[in-house]
Amino acid sequence: MVDKNAEVASQGILDNVIIRQLRKEDLPALEWDGEFKHFHNLYADTYERMVRGLTIMWVAELPEKGIIGQVFLQLICDRPELADGWQRAYLFSFRIRPEYRNLGLGTKIVNVLENYLLEKRFTRLTLNVGKDNPDAVRLYKRLGFQVVAEEPGVWSYIDDRGNWQTVREPSWRMEKLLRNNNRFI
């Protein structure tokens, strides 16, 4: 049986959420009340890459609640199989606050990114998703992504205390061929 109250609440959130490019003053909100403070420097570096036109940072904002989601889009990097600057872009750091998951917000955010990329004439969207994250894998498959490779998922960053941290999260590389009006670009 469908819970009509939950359905109405979900639609209200989707109707009111604003998906927009991040502004510099949004950076502290990405730390989610300290939960992701260790990524402080990573967010600042990503913002600097956005200023240089290499990356775009997007946020999902709910009026009176603030930022409830984020996703970054790398347009060009040193791994052209992920992002080459003209055909392929790379989605990363996709996060939605737990209380707003499973309401259709992830789908809405990905649709906004795809439309943006289509306007810029990109043809493919890639991402890496942890093998231990079946909910995300299921979402991406439902949105038309296919597994194209395994990734070791090893990456490093400087945390908020100035210490190097190395993350190991074995992943699947997934890719989607973008469509415009049901036709491949």
Q: Which of 67, 63, 62, 19 is nearest to 43 (CA)?
A: 67
pLDDT > 80? residue 10: no
pLDDT > 90? residue 128: yes
pLDDT of 110 reads: 97
Cα 35 off chain centre by: 18
Mean pLDDT taken over the chain: 93
CATH of 4-184, one of 3.40.630.30, 3.40.190.10, 2.70.98.90, 3.40.50.720: 3.40.630.30
pLDDT of 41 reads: 98
Domain ranges of the chain: 4-184
pLDDT of 42 reads: 97
Confidence of residue 8 (pLDDT cuts 50, 70, 90): very low
pLDDT > 60? residue 184: no
pLDDT of 179 reads: 84
| 36-49 mean pLDDT | 98
* β 88-96/124-130 pair status: parallel
pLDDT in tens, 46-100: 999 999 999 999 999 999 999 999 999 999 999 999 999 999 999 999 999 999 9
| 136-142 mean pLDDT | 96
pLDDT of 13 reads: 86
pLDDT of 181 reads: 52
| 15-32 mean pLDDT | 97
Confidence of residue 11 (pLDDT cuts 50, 70, 90): low
